[in-house]
Structure 1
């Protein structure tokens, strides 16, 4: 019994390809580690399956001669078992019934194992894994350079280049040369510059401190300027307007208490009974006194009459506002002091005796004591004249300066008329100075 294999044509069995010739060794100037990229060969092809059995149309060859063609078949020359050798240095022509083969890779250099890991294709395909393994890091499924799960690996030429990790070296300055010290790293802008809120808060703080300090300084300066006494020129200028800018009760109080100003240190009290309207100086003085005061000028004259607590003495106080300057007041004061004009009897001031008052009978004959003061710090001339309230005449009047001396035995001295004239004149002079802004110290007090 025969089989189909016995009648298989020997021409359909592929011969074993010959070994390709050995490539020459690389030149000495070439890098033995550099290799030409080539496709990795796949698994060897399986031998072809035996042909299907068929029934020959011709006569069956006799048994025992399987390789003898039947009679009448043209003779086929036998196929060579190996291709003719190719000339040295050339590649053999590819066979149509077999896949082309790539040239053999050059042998690895001496001293290195001929392993697959030494090829450039392996390093290009597995560079990311080798890098991560060297750094001790395991890539996850989304690591760049790794193929997604479920997809076949792509050729190394089609794979994207893995991102190399950033360098930790400091940036080099422009124009820096090797060997030069590296510039220190710059601080970020947010650390070098304060924020806008910090600047705004600092500006508000400085502005607030400045405003508070300015207000405190202004208040301090204002308080100090208000408490400080005016200059002599300012006080003298203000004294010209005291007569109409100050209430009459301030300049001539209704009641004046003198503590220890009477004879022997007795207390005195005086009550105002009449105030003359402000007027000029035409009929207020005797002609001689008017002539002596003419150099100072007369801007205004104020007068008031007081009575003591016992109603036994009357006192008229007057204040003449001069129109001269400080030099004119100083010259008039010097004249009264050097020529003793204040103690002359012919220069006594006249009393103010309005009708219908206790002072109605107070006239020239009742004048017992007097005083005249020429002030130099304010443009004011103050005078005072006293007499008995019962209307008696006084034949020997005495100036207040003499009647207040210790041991005086005259009628004006013993009755206290000299103290009355002196103390009320001091009190009115102090009121005018205070109204002009000058400090004044007196021993008298008023309720």
Structure 2
């Protein structure tokens, strides 16, 4: 990705169909052991004034010593107790950026995800993982306009998995884009997404991950129905989810999940609960990421 900040996207991208990767290339394929993501390759006065000066100097010296003692004690205390919030925050941010390298697939993308109250009307949901994409760069992983918008943060690694619901009626791809950006750059991108409502634009939808021989085999660009994009500021990660029907039907008017889950929404994706699929599963995968970061940065007792 180019490092320059993009101009506002103009015009819709082409809707090229996504290639269907071989599931044999998935992290979890061909091994009974838990799969791992491990692909990785910094101012005097006269005579009479002197006694007063001496007294004042002595008092000032005493205050200085006392002050230094208090400051030193506070600093020492912070070192001993680990209360330096900035250092801890920076450590967590740095740790988050390396999780793609050696974290078990099942920890970031569990085989089964429970969504208590995540469905329409507060119904429970259960999602089952049916495909895990080989980790990759970002070439061809996003539509051109989304690729351009994400360019300022760079692409370190992209991890993706696709899930289906309990009835295998819906399919949802979740992705974690690990960027090369520092906290300031991630905050700038998050601000742009919020202020320009980029997460509501259908020409900035993420692409799905389809896999042969699964319920998501026909889940291509034309089948995208609803989506979420979340730019994290406490980690160099962009998390997203995109949902559609498992029967391969095309969608003429995709709807952002935030709109599809609103009460009274009447679009087909909303009525089918696809907004809940994308939002519910996306939220839980993002939560898993933060839990993993927290565990990785915990100090031993």
Same fold by TM (over 0.5)? yes
Q: Deviations over 1:299-358 (max 9, x none)?
A: 000000000001100000000001010000000000111011111111111110011211
Question: Partner residue of 1:335?
Answer: 192
Q: Residues of 2 paired with 1:237 and 1:282: CA distance?
A: 24
Question: Partner residue of 1:143?
Answer: none
RMSD: 2.2
Does structure 1 residue 298 correspond to structure 2 residue 155?
A: yes
User: Are the counterparts in 2 of residues 230 and 437 from structure 1 also a CA contact under 8 Å?
Assistant: no
> 3-state DSSP class of the match of 2:147?
helix
Q: Residues of 1 paired with 2:118 and 2:201: CA distance?
A: 24
Residue 363 to residue 237, structure 1, CA distance change in 2 (3 Å): same
Does structure 1 residue 314 correspond to structure 2 residue 175?
A: no
Question: Partner residue of 1:264?
Answer: 121
Q: Residues of 2 paired with 1:229 and 1:255: CA distance?
A: 35
Q: Residues of 2 paired with 1:352 and 1:244: CA distance?
A: 20
Q: Deviations over 1:32-51 (max 9, x none)?
A: xxxxxxxxxxxxxxxxxxxx
Residue 343 to residue 229, structure 1, CA distance change in 2 (3 Å): same
Runs of 4 or more above 2 Å deviation? 223-226
Question: Partner residue of 1:418?
Answer: 275
Structure 1 residue 245: deviation in Å? 2.7
User: Are the counterparts in 2 of residues 372 and 383 from structure 1 also a CA contact under 8 Å?
Assistant: yes
User: Are the counterparts in 2 of residues 362 and 391 from structure 1 also a CA contact under 8 Å?
Assistant: yes
Question: Partner residue of 1:86?
Answer: none
Question: Partner residue of 1:120?
Answer: none
Question: Partner residue of 2:100?
Answer: 243
Q: Residues of 1 paired with 2:283 and 2:82: CA distance?
A: 28
The alignment's TM-score, normalised by the length of structure 2, stands at 0.69
> 3-state DSSP class of the match of 2:133?
strand
Residue 252 to residue 229, structure 1, CA distance change in 2 (3 Å): farther
Question: Partner residue of 2:205?
Answer: 348
Q: Residues of 2 paired with 1:230 and 1:354: CA distance?
A: 42
Question: Partner residue of 1:234?
Answer: 91
> 3-state DSSP class of the match of 1:273?
strand
> 3-state DSSP class of the match of 1:250?
helix
> 3-state DSSP class of the match of 1:437?
helix
User: Are the counterparts in 2 of residues 235 and 438 from structure 1 also a CA contact under 8 Å?
Assistant: no
Question: Partner residue of 1:402?
Answer: 259
Question: Partner residue of 2:214?
Answer: 357
Structure 1 residue 435: deviation in Å? 1.7
Q: Residues of 2 paired with 1:424 and 1:264: CA distance?
A: 16
Question: Partner residue of 1:389?
Answer: 246
Q: Residues of 2 paired with 1:317 and 1:282: CA distance?
A: 17
Structure 1 residue 288: deviation in Å? 0.5
Q: Deviations over 1:54-81 (max 9, x none)?
A: xxxxxxxxxxxxxxxxxxxxxxxxxxxx
Q: Deviations over 1:364-403 (max 9, x none)?
A: 1111100110000011000110000111111111100000
> 3-state DSSP class of the match of 1:291?
helix
Give the structure with the larger helix fraction.
2
| Bigger relative contact order (CA 8 A; separation at least 6) | 2
User: Are the counterparts in 2 of residues 230 and 438 from structure 1 also a CA contact under 8 Å?
Assistant: no
Which structure is larger by alpha-carbon Rg, 1 or 2?
1
Structure 1 residue 230: deviation in Å? 7.1
Unmatched 5+ residue regions in structure 1? 1-220, 440-447
User: Are the counterparts in 2 of residues 229 and 438 from structure 1 also a CA contact under 8 Å?
Assistant: no
User: Are the counterparts in 2 of residues 229 and 437 from structure 1 also a CA contact under 8 Å?
Assistant: no
Alignment of 1:44-443 (within 5 A): 231-437=88-294
Q: Residues of 2 paired with 1:239 and 1:273: CA distance?
A: 25
> 3-state DSSP class of the match of 2:270?
helix
Counting matched residue pairs gives 218
Q: Residues of 1 paired with 2:294 and 2:87: CA distance?
A: 7
Question: Partner residue of 1:55?
Answer: none
The alignment's TM-score, normalised by the length of structure 1, stands at 0.47
Unmatched 5+ residue regions in structure 2? 1-77, 297-301
